[in-house]
Structure 1
Amino acid sequence: MRSRAKILGLVGAAALGVAVVSASYVVTGSAGAAQPSTVEEFQPAMVEGVARDLRMSVDEARKTLREQEAARVVRKRLPQSLVDQSAGMWFDERTGKLTVAVTDQAAAKAARAAGAEAKVVGRGQAELDRITARVTALAAGVPGVNGHGVDVTTNDVLVRINRTKKTPVTERFVAAARALGGVRIEETDTSPVQQAGEVNPGDGWWPGSETPCSVGVGATDSAGTKYLVTAGHCTNDVNQAAYGQSGQQNRLGTVNPGGGKSINGPEGDMGLVAVTEAGWTLSAAVNTWGQPAVAVTGSKDAIVGETVCHSGNTAPNWECGRVTKLNHTMVYNNGSLTINGLTVTTACSQGGDSGGVWLSGDKAVGLHEGGINGNNCPTGDNAVFQPLNEALTKWNLTLFTGGDTQAPTAPGNARSTGTTTSSVSLAWDASTDNVGVTGYEVFNGGSLATTVTGTSATVSGLAADTSYTFTVKAKDAAGNSSAASAAVSARTQPGGGGDDEPPTTPGNLRATGVTDTTASLSWDAAVDNVGVTGYDVFNGTTLAASVAGSSATVSGLTANTTYSFTVQAKDAAGNKSKPTVALSVKTTGTTGGRTFSNDADFPIRDFQVLQSKVTSTAAGAAANPVTVKVTATHTCLQDLQITLVSPSGRWYTLQRYGDGGWQCTPFGGQRTFTVVPASGEAASGQWTLRIGDNGPGDTGVLDTWSVTV
């Protein structure tokens, strides 16, 4: 995800008067002219699109693309310490080089040594982030505010306002924002809008009977499931049918399958469609609508100043421009919807382009999100996109760049071929694949036991006289995995051979995580005269899990219930240790009523955000107000930003960073917060408490919290 924790940390440092001092910088690589890491052959659609939309010749477009590649090489060569302390960087079309904003001459010298241009500015990143934080607090609910964020090229914070919606409240906001210093107001007459075979990036797709959106990119998860990644405001309906043609024709898959795969709120605007229907495959070829397709070879984050193009379902379909700003906040629907972390460009866009892919060269950089000026396209800032890498990271996806997407067949005739007191030998018939099987994964229950390239394996480290269940999956070079084989049950032989010495008792049994239905446990390893082969975890007197390592998660528990766990070590001869001292663990949530809690401890760390979750089973609408009780310790309450996120994805601020001034006072004990929920906010589902620590040198722990809905 975007580095908001880092940004908040810099705000805290500035607010507490922590100065950013000159440092030593180590520059790696040659200081001469940077050379692009890829060949200087750019795909025709990129060259033609840049030339047309940026009003330059084809030769000038090639030169610009070549210079951008060189600037990215320079960016990789910059010392990380310099990047962290810079006030931003951008590709300067006038010089054809990367420019780095710095606050002292030592940093400027380091930037130039790496091959970049340096611009010494008056405001460092910490100061810009401090101003942004205050603008965000002031702008909440102000009529006419369209969005805001840092403009690195001018070293200030830009605020956009629709002059046709201004009120006296807006005028007071403008005066207060300007009084902060470093704030620039830009007025417009429009407000932003979220523009609403093979799966080709840029093609249209239809969510149910609604208006069309556009395909972003193809991606796969670790299980080989195929997805198209697109805009969150196109994928808000859980399990909705997705079609490749209007009129609900040619179904290609399912929108937001199972829920939890769509976001349209402060975290971003991104979502998934599972490609499930027969005959539909992924493609890395971006539809450029008349030019040869651009093959996506990877993904990257955009740089201010570079040229980018996007493909969408609405004419003229393929449009290009320059990136002008990163990490900007957009405010939609008269303030009812805020999206953070967006990238702003000068390109044009239209309704129906939503979710379409944005490219820099042959690398995907984003998913189309909306237009600052609606469907109009005046000179200046226009189209906006969601950074792609955030979506890939959030759902742990691999970008599809072409190749094999067909999984092998399941291994056949899985069988046990022999057992000992501590091992089971297995064999199976080979799987087949359209390209070729590269190996097999053997699972002991739900845990991966071993990986082999042939059609047999021996699983060792097992307990004597114990039954086990095994399955096998085939995999290919593209990472596709087959369905599991039929399960094979085998029992190890009874112990013997003279070893009658049990292992020592495992030490320091502890809980490492608790949810409504699970308890995660860990312990210190036992020792044995021959060797420990595993551990049995007991819930009371009932065997709950058998594992080979020193941790386990017990599932199937009841919310808001106390359980007693013990652990025993065992060896190959079947000897078992004495049980550990019993550990009492209470699950989160509630078995009734409307109060739900989480008692798991979470450290509150400098410049990081913790998230603690509870699942509500309460029916109906959320209470008005929703009550949140937080028990925690922390050395500086003023450094904390505390937010409640509802099951619908709405964010409710409980405590703002900087509230009460900048003199630190301890959090200490329990604090109670109340918020008024939005109309129609449901009580049931996952509620999340987020605590961000925005200052240095603090310590703290979230002990417990509850929400009454």
Structure 2
Amino acid sequence: MRRTAPLLVFLAATGLAACTAADARPPAAPAGITAQAGSATSVHVMWQAAAPADGVTGYQVFQAGRLVRELPADKTMVDISGLTPQTAYAFTVRARDAAGNASAPSATAAATTPAAKAEDREAPTAPARTTGRADGPRAATLSWAAATDDTGVTAYDVYQGGIRIHTAGPTETGTTLTGLQPDTVYTFTVRARDGADNSSPDGPAVDVTTPPSAGQGPGTAPAGFTATASPGTVTLTWTAPDTGRPTGEYELHVNGRPVTVIQFGAGAVPPSGAAGVEHRLTVTEPAGTQWTLRLRARLPDGNWGAFSAERRIVLVP
């Protein structure tokens, strides 16, 4: 017994040391970094998100070795403003984890700001055409028609759900978007931008539906979603997702927020996969109010499915 006690103390001590050892392993350096001048005084920097296993909690953006921005882990792009026209800049990004470990610097991305244009208040024309296709469950390829501007287009910004998610160069008329979710309908628009940061109106919206991933089963997003405004009413139509059962409950989002749950009685719900679901909303908001709408279905397991495409409408008197 006198020899056993020291052995137990030794095991406990070494076990405690193993559990509380400091995390000294840094995450991998960010990949896929790009830099694109968005105006005479700003550059848009983007990179790929870290793998979940890396435990990244934030990113640091450096310009010529000087820290210029810190961002949380869910942000993988940033506009660096306050720059000088007609100047070359170089950027790198480091990832940080919860223990404070910083990765090695990413590859360097360079961009040169264009010359400033005095008193430029004229926005570019909107890209006249937008097309898109899914490239598997997590990527999509977009293309658009070139825009024109009196001083020249300096960038094209891709928006999804009203949020800019990508910036392309002035000579590019297409791009591949990654990091998307399977079985999801995305509605993309493209805006042109000039050297004075004037942005065009949105080009035509394009819907892209990513397919389910392997083993995920059929898609769960309502298809063919439309929204039509008439005096005092908004009419919604869509095709029910093929969930294997009648779908009688849908959650409607307006301007990015859930506003109501649409429920149908058993006799009013068409079979799963059948076309012709329709619902009318009575509206009291003033004419000219703009809405962005999308909806999703309650699945047989009780969870909400994927969102439909987004539709923008303006209420009428």
Q: TM-score range by the shorter chain?
A: 0.3 to 0.5
TM-score computed with the length of structure 1 as normaliser: 0.17
